[in-house]
Structure 1
Amino acid sequence: MKLVFASNNPNKIAEIQNLVPDSIQILSLKDIECFEEIPETADTIEGNAILKANYVTEKYGFDCFADDSGLEIDYLNGAPGVFSARFAGAQKNDQDNIDKVLFELKEADNRKANFKTVIALNLNKKQHLFTGIINGNITTTQRGTEGFGYDPIFQPNDYNITFAEMNQQQKSSISHRGLAVKQLLEFLKK
């Protein structure tokens, strides 16, 4: 089976490829020669996943899945949420985003947060949605060098290390994206 993963993010593509069985070939946007920026104009994480999957299916004719993820922080009323990648500006810089979160939370007692991923799968002219959520806390300092995005400041519940202190396999087994992908894979196996 060939499925397009509507992403240009090499970290996400590597994470997904590590999770899917060899019987499923994952194609990137580059593999199908989709080089344009896919609009992410929805006001929800779910909406953006749907927009991206529909764009590839409608414009290129491939069965496809797309994800959108966000960090939702209680103290910030769910922000950055759908704006996680560009929380500190259009440059989408991970370090700038981390710095802004730590600045916003410097006086916060409540550091509860969750990561949420929604995957939209377009397969055989039907759409299916899968959601993964992991709860945790925002640390007061960055820790670890693995992963990407907010990983150095997100510590999942029941762990004393951040996502950035975990290896890829450990993170994928518990992460929001890993949980959503497991649901996707269980569906595809049926």
Structure 2
Amino acid sequence: MSHSTPPLTSGEHPITIARLRRAPVVLATHNAGKVGELRELLTTVGVATLGALELGLPEPEETEDSFTGNALLKARAAAERSGRVALADDSGVCVDALDGEPGVYTARWAGEPRDWQRAMARVEHELAKRGAVLGAARGASFACALAVATPEGDTLALEGRVPGVLVWPARGTLGAGFEPMFMPHGYSQTYGEMEPDVRAAINHRAAAFRLLCLALGCPVRD
């Protein structure tokens, strides 16, 4: 269900699961939903966490042109400010017929204040303009990059993807963002129709987390 890019590492000392277990890891996001999901995943491998808001950390502007770049930017900023190991994510939906858009600009398509109904309608409008009506022409993937950074400057970053198709009208009220429009391959429900625990076990963040576990040398959660 997932595609990935190889882990990227820098610095002299590899980041290990033992290092993450040494002290609470900072979750570099102000998004309560992401904090909850990441906290639950990390708990399964014995890693305690602190939210960025708990430490009064600001969110840096996302200026990179890739999910991995933005995740690294946020993780580094949190690690430098807090003096702790930090973990950040960046995620979005990439539509095949739109040359990968909205991609890293997924949130921007929702405007300010965020209006995800408008964002989904915009994607559907763009697909209709291209004649992408049948499922085969409506391929998309949800991507998530996870990055870990230490105060010493070591980093680890990787990306997980889940392929699927976009449906219209959007279905379900249990998801956020583009999730009511996205149906992963092998399933008959959109993310928006799935119970949160079911979705969290198979989504792009879970795919990236499994890769993180492999890179850290800890058991992979099924």
TM normalised by structure 2 equals 0.79
Q: How does 1:27-176 map to 2 (within 5 A)?
A: 27-34=50-57, 36-106=58-128, 107-109=131-133, 110-123=137-150, 125=152, 126-176=154-204
| Structure 2: distance between partners of 1:136 and 1:67 | 21
- CA drift at 1:124: 6.8
Deviating above 4 A after TM superposition, structure 1's stretches of 4 or more consecutive aligned residues are none
User: 1:74-132 CA distances to partner (integer Å, 9 max, x unpaired)?
Assistant: 11100000000111434333222112112222331410000111111114732111211
SS at match of 1:87: helix
**1:189 pairs with 2:211:** no
| Structure 1: distance between partners of 2:72 and 2:104 | 13
- CA drift at 1:146: 0.9
SS at match of 1:113: strand
RMSD across aligned positions (CA): 1.8
Using CA pairs below 8 Å that are at least 6 residues apart, which structure has the higher relative contact order? 2
> Compared with structure 1, are the counterparts of its residues 96 and 173 closer, same or farther at alpha carbon in structure 2 (3 Å cutoff)?
same
User: How many residues are treated as equivalent by the alignment?
Assistant: 189
Structure 2 unpaired stretches of 5+: 1-20
| Structure 2: distance between partners of 1:189 and 1:142 | 37
- CA drift at 1:142: 1.0
Mapped contact 2:83–2:151 kept (Cα < 8 A): no
Mapped contact 1:86–1:93 kept (Cα < 8 A): no
- CA drift at 1:188: 6.2
User: 1:44-95 CA distances to partner (integer Å, 9 max, x unpaired)?
Assistant: 1111011101111122212001000011001110000000011143433322
Between structure 1 and structure 2, the one with the greater Rg is: 2
> Compared with structure 1, are the counterparts of its residues 183 and 93 closer, same or farther at alpha carbon in structure 2 (3 Å cutoff)?
same
Matched with 2:6 is none
| Structure 2: distance between partners of 1:147 and 1:43 | 26
SS at match of 1:160: coil
Structure 1 unpaired stretches of 5+: none
Matched with 1:21 is 43
| Structure 1: distance between partners of 2:114 and 2:79 | 26
Mapped contact 2:29–2:59 kept (Cα < 8 A): no
> Compared with structure 1, are the counterparts of its residues 118 and 139 closer, same or farther at alpha carbon in structure 2 (3 Å cutoff)?
same
